[in-house]
Every structure is written in structure tokens, then in C-alpha cells.
Amino acid sequence: MRVLVFSTKPYDRKFLDAENMHHGHELRYVEARLTSETAILAADAEAVCVFVNDLLGADVLRQLADRGVRLVALRCAGFNNVDLAAAGSLGTRIARVPAYSPFAVAEHTVGMMLALNRRLHRAYARVREGNFALDGLLGFDLNRRTAGIIGTGKIGSVVARILHGFGCQILAHDVRPDPECAAWDVRYVDLPELLAASDIVTLHCPLTPATHHLIDAAALRQVRHGVMLINTSRGALIDTRAVIAALKSGTIGFLGLDVYEEEADLFFEDLSGQVIHDDVFARLLTFPNVLITGHQAFFTEEALTNIAQTTLANVTAFEERGEALHEVSVERLA
């Protein structure tokens, strides 16, 4: 099939080209993000391949459909950037990569916890400056602390297992508790109880209307003073302004973010020579107890290999049978 790949980075091309040896699709790459202005690039494509910050609202989907695009192959798990109802009414199929390496994201999540707790980001800079003082680097043992995991799907359940290995007590909250997790030491509780009892709160649920700003000012009034909050899921799960207020008051003692509500204008680009115009993001960067990575939790060899394999398997299945392997639609979610 003729596939136009949006938001291409050199690593996307490397892994997709290698996998395409087994498929033989006509892949064309553009660096541009898919928006209503760039949809025109898909003029002769039958499918488009997109990533987390490409915009697939009704307008863009309509433009793609008018140009003959019948399949949108997401090379990610989340699909909060797609108007599924509009896709359904246009007859555009949406496929995704439901799982590529829960370990990649889970391990990055725990890496953030360790770095924040033991202030490795500060220690690294200090030692390079010849400053070997320990003041300000005091951490705490993870052993016997309580970790609250919101969303125990593929990624959250791996986080639970890793933290269990550290000797943490695991609380979880999920609209669909996982019997496998419940069978070992994970205790499912409601959200207020999780927030009130956890030393660490980590988010692993999808972004949906129900989870938008799940961590807002009201939720932050329920947490333990000095809580560690980690979000490697989707930026809009937390209300960033409320989180900044909680950092200023000390309610949040540590914040680790791999995602940000307005990341589309920032992440995945080298902006080191430019002024950052997002004042909320710039304020976050000023806190010594905040660690931000630019949506890199997925970024491992294994994950990129699996993403390329599943993405092209979706395209091939659609070409051969008219249905991709991992489609998502309003009907399937109902």
C-alpha cells in the first residue's frame, strides 16, 4: 500500500524500513506533524501512519478521506488524538499498536522515581562541578513505602511488579481491576483512598473524557503532604496549573513527567536555541524537585522493533483482508 508516514524521525525510518523488507509497502516519509494544514501531503496515499501528537480531528479525517486515505495506522497505543466517531462515519479504519513493550514505559517510570527520590539529576550536575556535599540530596527507602497505581493494565501491572520487588506496598485503582494483580499483593481501593494512603502516585490509565484532569486541585487536596507524583501516561491526566500550586505549597514533594498537556508544541524537537513561550512549562522547569523527560518512556530498541512490526502488520492485514489486526472504533470500545 502507499503509506505516508507523518512526524518522521530518523529512528522511525530506520525501524520501519527494516521491517518493511517483509511487507513491501510503498512508504513515504515526511517530518511534518499531521494537522489540518499538512493533511494535503497525503494526496496520493491509501494509508497514513501517525504518532502521538498528530491531530486526527473530524476536519483532518475528512480531508484524508476525501484524498482516498482508508486506513490510519497509529504507531502508538494511545488514541486520544483521534475522533473515532468521525472516523466511523467516514469509513476510515483506525489501527494502533496496543502493546509494544510495557516494560519500556514501566522501567522508565520507576527510573524517574529512583532519580527523583535520590536526586540523581542534581547529584550528576553537582559532582561534575566538583561539589561533593550531600546536603539537599536526602532520599527515602522505597522498601515498605506505599505506591498507588492508577490503571493496572499492561504498563501499570509491570510497574506494580517492579515496585513489589522493591518491597513497596501496592495500592491500585482501576475501573476494571485485574484479577491477576489482585491475586498477589496488589490491593484495589477507590481513588480517594489511594490518594490519601500513597507515598507515590503513578498514572497508567488512558486519557479519556473520564480521566481528563484526574489529578486536579480537588484530588491534590486528598494526597499525602510531600507525595511523589509520576505521569508517564498522557499529559492531560493532570491539571498542570493545579500541580504547580501544589509544588509551591510542598503538597507535591517530587514530580516526574514524561508527558505534558501542551507537549505537541515542544516535544520531539530540538528547541535548545529558542525561547520557550509556554510559561506554565517554563515554571515547571524551575523546580529542583521536578524531573521532565520529553515523551521518551517508550524509546527502547525492543519497543521500536515491535512498533514497526505491528504497524506494518496492521497495514498488510488491511490490504489483504480489508481489516487491520488491531483496530479501534467507537463500536469496539462500547
297 binds ligand NAD (CB under 6 A): yes
- Contact set for ligand NAD, span 59-78 (CB under 6 A): 77-78
290 binds ligand NAD (CB under 6 A): no
234 binds ligand NAD (CB under 6 A): yes
Residue 228's SS3 state is strand
- Which residues are registered as beta bridge partners of 125? none
- Provide the minimum distance between the beta carbon of 68 and ligand NAD in the complex, in angstroms, as a whole number: 30
279: left (phi over 0), alpha (psi -120 to 50) or beta: alpha
Distance CA 143, CA 225 (A): 19
Which of 75, 93, 96, 295 is flagged as catalytic? 295
| Cβ within 8 Å of residue 205, ≥6 positions away | 150, 151, 153, 156, 174, 211, 214, 233, 237
Q: Please confirm, yes or no, whether 225 is among the known catalytic residues.
A: no
Q: Please confirm, yes or no, whether 96 is among the known catalytic residues.
A: no
Which of 19, 46, 261, 263 is flagged as catalytic? 263
Out of 53, 92, 117, 152, the only residue in the binding site for ligand NAD (CB under 6 A) is: 152
Out of 55, 64, 82, 155, the only residue in the binding site for ligand NAD (CB under 6 A) is: 155
Q: What is the DSSP string of 261-319?
A: TTGGGTTTS--TTS----HHHHHHTT-TTEEE--S-TT-SHHHHHHHHHHHHHHHHHHH
210 binds ligand NAD (CB under 6 A): yes
Q: How many CA atoms lie within 13 A of 87 on its CB side?
A: 23
Q: Please confirm, yes or no, whether 25 is among the known catalytic residues.
A: no
**What stretch of H or E contains 108?**
helix 102-117
- Provide the minimum distance between the beta carbon of 314 and ligand NAD in the complex, in angstroms, as a whole number: 16
| Cβ within 8 Å of residue 24, ≥6 positions away | none
Nearer to ligand NAD, 47 or 215 (CB): 215
Distance CA 164, CA 187 (A): 12
Rg (CA), the chain: 21
84 binds ligand NAD (CB under 6 A): no
Nearer to ligand NAD, 155 or 246 (CB): 155
Distance CA 223, CA 212 (A): 18
206 binds ligand NAD (CB under 6 A): yes
Nearer to ligand NAD, 8 or 211 (CB): 211
295 binds ligand NAD (CB under 6 A): yes
Nearer to ligand NAD, 16 or 194 (CB): 194
- Provide the minimum distance between the beta carbon of 15 and ligand NAD in the complex, in angstroms, as a whole number: 15
176 binds ligand NAD (CB under 6 A): yes
153 binds ligand NAD (CB under 6 A): yes
Residue 74's SS3 state is strand
Q: What sign does the CA torsion over 125, 127, 132, 134 have? A: positive
Out of 49, 69, 84, 205, the only residue in the binding site for ligand NAD (CB under 6 A) is: 205
298 binds ligand NAD (CB under 6 A): yes
Which of 119, 234, 261, 326 is flagged as catalytic? 234
Crossing angle of helices 301-321 and 10-20, in 10° steps, is 50
Contact positions vs ligand NAD (CB under 6 A): 77-78, 99, 102, 105, 150-156, 173-176, 204-207, 210-211, 232-234, 258-259, 295, 297-298
List active site positions.
234, 263, 295
